[in-house]
Amino acid sequence: MLKDLGYFSVKNDWTLIYNGTEPEFFVVRETMSEKNGKTLLVTGGAGFIGSNFINFIHKRYPNYKILLLDALTYAGNLDNIPTSLKSNGHFQFHHGNITHPDIVNKLVSESDIVVHFAAESHVTRSIYDNAIFFETDVIGTQVVANAIVNNPVELFVHISSSEVYGTALTDPMDEEHPLNPMSPYAAAKAGADRLIYSYVKTYDLPAIIIRPFNNYGPCQHLEKAIPNFIVSALQDQPLTIHGNGESSRDWMFVEDTCEALDRVLHVERDRVIGQTINLGTGTDTSVVEIARRILKLMNKPESLLQFIEDRPGQVTRHISSVDKSHEYLDWQSKVGLDEGLKRTIEFYQNNPKWWERIMWMKELWAPKG
Ligand code: NAD
């Protein structure tokens, strides 16, 4: 029982309710009026998807207060947050690590909703140096989840990943697909994903688990395939493709993910809490086809394609079922691949300063042979 574990701290604006049929107490926060807006804690919001999400939510709900907690690892960049928002009373940045309970507890206690993006996120890095993946992605998630058990919020959105599934055993892959993580990154994300599931069952954590498929768009680190290809093409450098490039992914423009997360925040809570939902487009495209499309959209020759040795731990196919996201969120992706790629190319063409500072990380060191 939660109360016996001493997890509760009851504050003035909380109501303690005794459920007469079971020996458990439930703590319910009084609903904030929409007029006052919500306070959202966003972990990892200086990274790619998190910063797009913050900007999206701020534009659509300017009265929401956003607390950003980010350790600013190599993947975080506060320039991803517009100056107008940073200097706005509705935004606070907290520089800190999700594995540190003090700061996480404090910020969770000030929040109505927590959206948890913070993670080490790169498959290839996890192959060569994986301890930090388990520290951040699993232990960090445990710290955030414990903070919510101590300081209940309305909703906890856990950002998991399609990588937890491994290679597609079915076409499409629905939420019941077996979890066969194939890289340490995927294993860490699967650990965090199941940890949250267990907290829903054990502690009634008001969580929803979201499994996005491969996102792309503005502000994505050059270590990821699409920005890597675009920046190579901008510099007339080879686009290096691992293996034969035939492995395929369900590529989704990040704005579609933000739109879906907006739905997660605003659909009827009881319907989504405890659910696990994929976010994808329902189509897959091979890596080599993505590279060809980028070259075509940028008027560059296919002779820039260069095939190199394959990497271990890569899935060969990912394709999302879109049924559950449609049913529960009344959402489907809108941005087609060519439009999304065009908008992503424009970002890298127009913002060389954004990516020049991380050019040295474009090619990841890996042991040879
Ligand atoms: P990212 O690597 O661009 O950003 C991660 C952010 O987390 C960075 O700002 C970083 O500074 C921060 N961070 C890392 N360790 C931290 C720590 N210990 N404490 C606090 N902050 C920390 O990642 P992304 O691509 O934006 O992905 C965001 C989330 O979405 C991750 O959980 C990732 O697993 C998941 N996801 C991403 C994709 C994708 O295609 N990019 C697909 C599915 C799921």
Mutational test site, ligand 1, from 48, 55, 74, max ligand atoms within 8 Å of CB: 48
Give the pLDDT confidence of 220-270 residue by residue, as tens digits. Answer: 999 999 999 999 999 999 999 999 999 999 999 999 999 999 999 999 999
- String of b and e for 173-201 (b: at least 16 CB within 10 Å)? bebebeeebbbbbbbbbbbbbebbbebbe
State how far the Cα of 125 lies from the Cα of 127, in Å rounded to an integer: 5
At 20 the pLDDT is: 38
Query: In the predicted model, is pLDDT for residue 23 greater than 80?
Result: no
Measured in Å, residue 360 CA sits from the centre of ligand 1 at 20
Q: Would the pLDDT of 6 be above 90? A: no
Looking at the chain, the whole-number percentage of residues with pLDDT higher than 70 is 89
Q: What is the DSSP letter of 139?
A: I
| 114 CB near ligand 1 (under 6 Å) | no
pLDDT the model gives residue 26: 34
Residues 48-73 as b/e (b if ≥16 CB within 10 A, e otherwise) read: bbbbbbbbbbbeebeebbbbbbbbeb
Choose one of 70, 103, 121 to mutate for the ligand 1 pocket test, by most ligand atoms within 8 angstroms of C-beta: 121
For 279-315, the pLDDT digits (tens) are 999 999 999 999 999 999 999 999 999 999 888 888 9
Ligand 1 atom, smallest distance to 74 CA: 11
To test the pocket of ligand 1, the residue of 41, 73, 255, 325 to mutate (highest count of ligand atoms within 8 Å of its CB) is 73
- CA of 196 relative to ligand 1 center, distance in Å: 17
CB 121 less than 6 A from any atom of ligand 1: yes
Mean pLDDT over all residues of the chain? 90
Confidence of residue 34 (pLDDT cuts 50, 70, 90): very low
- Give me the pLDDT at residue 240, please: 95
Average pLDDT rounded to a whole number, residues 90-96: 96
The better pLDDT of the pair 360, 175 is held by 175
Say what the pTM is. Answer: 0.91
Ligand 1 pocket residue status of 227, Cβ below 6 Å: no
Residue 5 is predicted with a pLDDT of 33
Residue 136 near ligand 1, beta carbon < 6 Å: yes
Rg (CA), the chain: 21
Res. 366 pLDDT band, cuts 50 70 90: low
Instruction: Give the model's pLDDT for residue 87.
Output: 87
Pair 93, 68: CB distance under 8 Å: yes
Q: Who's near 318: CB < 8 A, 6+ residues apart?
A: 162, 165, 167, 168, 173, 213, 214, 248, 249, 250, 280, 284
In the prediction, which pLDDT does 19 show? Answer: 35
**pLDDT bucket at 36, cuts 50 / 70 / 90:** low
The reported pLDDT for the residue numbered 231 is 98
Residue nearest to atom 12 of ligand 1 (CA): 44
- What percent of the chain is predicted at pLDDT more than 90? 84
- Per-residue pLDDT at 16: 32
Instruction: Specify the residue for token string 């042991």.
Output: 367
- For residue 311, the model assigns a pLDDT of 84
Pick the CATH number of 31-216+252-283+316-335 from 2.60.120.200, 3.20.20.70, 3.30.379.10, 3.40.50.720: 3.40.50.720
The pLDDT tens digits for 317-328 are: 999 999 999 999
Domain boundaries, the chain: 31-216+252-283+316-335
For the chain, report the end-to-end CA distance as a whole number of angstroms.
53
